[in-house]
Structure 1
Amino acid sequence: MKKRVKTSVKAFSLPELLVVLVIIGILVLIALPNLMPLISRAKSTEAQQQLVFLHTLEKSHFYMHSRYSVSLEELGFEQQKLVTEGGNANYQISITEANEKGFRATATAVVDFDGDGIFNVWEINQDKELREITKD
């Protein structure tokens, strides 16, 4: 007759796992508000890159036609599909003014990154002066 040896497996109990998950959740809730400015700053890189690209297109158009264009289509700039329309772009690009002396273009966020009701806006001009008009 063989004797059965009772072996026990060491493991965590369900209440212990739940306590750990609750602690992790509390830590995430504490850290999230501190991370929102970083998230907003990272997303604003998209606006800056798009406006610098638009500046390059405007300069090329100016050298060929001796004037800046108010039309994104005339420049060959294709607005990416916005996140509100199922795409990936967070910023709506538009040219607010253009003539033979200069232009001004803006990138306006379509998403409120930190939920405070203020939407991020960036602007660029013919001198490639890129600045943040409204901080999110």
Structure 2
Amino acid sequence: MIAVIIAERRGFTLIELMIVVLIISILASISIPVFHDFRCRARQSEARSSLALLAKCQEAYFIEHETYSLDKEHIGFKMTGTPKYNYEIVSADAVDFTATAKASYDDREDKWEIDSGYVLKNEPNACKR
């Protein structure tokens, strides 16, 4: 008789479906913020490496001309593809330069700054919540 009852049952009960939906929503609530943080840190690696390259271009230009330049393309720095950050040389003279990389993620501002001493700063940091 038990075998007959088990054989007639088909599909899932409402409770079983609700438990599956609950498990999926818990997993999504954990994994989505982790994914956003990972994506943000990956984008920030573009800013760090590109600003380091910009600083090297400035140093190469400085060796030849004994001054830093305000023009990115004049020093040989040009981004290809679709960069996530906007790069700008804020100040440059015969002694020092400062360059920034700015982007916005999920309505939060991310700004990186480098100077002639290769000091890299990140304020505000869009990846910190």
TM-score by length of 2: 0.75
Task: Identify the residue that residue 119 of structure 2 maps to in structure 1.
Answer: 129
Shift of 1:66: 0.2
**Aligned counterparts of 1:63 and 1:32: Cα–Cα separation in 2:** 47
Task: Identify the residue that residue 71 of structure 2 maps to in structure 1.
Answer: 71
**Aligned counterparts of 1:120 and 1:132: Cα–Cα separation in 2:** 7
Q: Deviations over 1:81-109 (max 9, x none)?
A: 4xxxxx3x211111000000110000001
Q: Does structure 2 conserve the Cα–Cα contact (< 8 Å) formed by 1:79 and 1:92?
A: no
Task: Identify the residue that residue 95 of structure 2 maps to in structure 1.
Answer: 101
- Please, which runs of 5 or more residues in structure 2 have no aligned partner? 1-9
Query: How much identity, in percent, do the aligned residues show?
Result: 30
**Aligned counterparts of 2:50 and 2:42: Cα–Cα separation in 1:** 14
- Please, which runs of 5 or more residues in structure 1 have no aligned partner? 1-11, 82-86
**For the aligned residues, what is the CA RMSD?**
2.5
* Larger helix proportion of the pair: 2
Task: Identify the residue that residue 91 of structure 1 maps to in structure 2.
Answer: 85
TM-score by length of 1: 0.72
